[in-house]
Amino acid sequence: MIRAMKEIVTDHIHNITQIFKLAKADLIKTYRGAALGWWWAVIKPCMTLFTYWFAFSYGFRSGKPVEGVPFFLWMAVGITPWFYMSEMLSQGTESIRKYKYMVTKMKFPVSIIPTFVSVSKMMVNLVLFLIVMILFWCWGFAPSIYYLQIPFYVLMSFLFFTLWAQFASLMAAISQDFANLVKSFITPIFWLSGILWRTDNFTGSVWIRRFLNLNPVTFLTSGFRDALIFNKWFWETPKKCLYFACWLVVLWVLSLWAYKRLRKDIPDVL
């Protein structure tokens, strides 16, 4: 595994400029042919956000302010990172299949593909998050010193889902069933994470609440809310940070294992 790790790191260092060029190309390719172009990267998430806000505020009648913060803003902080996460769970998993010509028709480092796709999706998500922060300012919520930890949560989100894509894209390249399995889990992950509700308020079994809090998506969405709404530092919840660190280690090991075992077989399979 050490050899695989050195190979992945070397490929990334030698192709760092290429990663950002390909990320830009991925963005252009995604919205090519659309009259509004890149605006769809903002319009689609905004429509989704508005739909959930309307459903919870007027349909379920549960859109009450959360600790003095309008429900819309509370929801926006949680659901905006999810747009990046969900795309990485779906498109990140399919990234090698999507760009299989790079593997079959040219000599291109396989490990680079999930990374530039992740960079592409994160660039869009940063724009969306900037819009959310502007909404907070417009609502009268001034920036605080806790905003300084936003880059930390952005980095953790990027690392986690890039590692996920490194593992899952290799598995999906070998087995389409794996890709379909991942897609089937995206909706349950959304509803079982602390995106539209607070897992700390779960009144059922203590073990179920602990299980829900082990969810890395819950950790990340709660972290963004702690930074923008609840004024908490990430080190104030050391157990949650430790759980998330364990997730990162597990994904790192899985990605190295998948790369070592599957990278030579992928060109033939694709």
Q: Write the pLDDT tens digit of every residue in 43-90.
A: 777 777 777 777 766 655 566 777 778 888 888 898 999 999 999 999
Residue with tokens 């919205």: 31
pLDDT per residue as tens digits for the range 34-43: 555 666 667 7
Could you tell me the pLDDT band of residue 119, with boundaries at 50, 70 and 90? very high
Contact, 92 vs 114, CB < 8 A?
Answer: yes
* Structural domain total, the chain: 1
pLDDT per residue as tens digits for the range 120-179: 999 889 988 898 888 888 888 888 898 899 999 999 999 999 999 999 999 988 888 888
What is the pLDDT of the chain when averaged over all its residues? 83
φ/ψ (deg, to 5) at 131? -65, -40
Q: What share of the chain is helix, strand, coil (3-state, %, to 5)?
A: 80, 0, 20
How many Cα atoms occupy the beta-carbon half-sphere of 49 within 13 Å?
A: 22
Q: 220 or 10: which carries more pLDDT confidence?
A: 220
pLDDT per residue as tens digits for the range 195-206: 887 777 666 667
In angstroms, the CA 145 to CA 233 distance is 10
pTM: 0.89
In angstroms, the CA 171 to CA 244 distance is 23
Ordered alpha helix ranges (H), 99-214: 100-104, 112-138, 150-174, 176-192, 206-213
Nearest Cα to 187, choosing from 43, 89, 93? 89
Contact, 115 vs 255, CB < 8 A?
Answer: no
| Residue range(s) defining the domain that contains residue 79 | 2-269
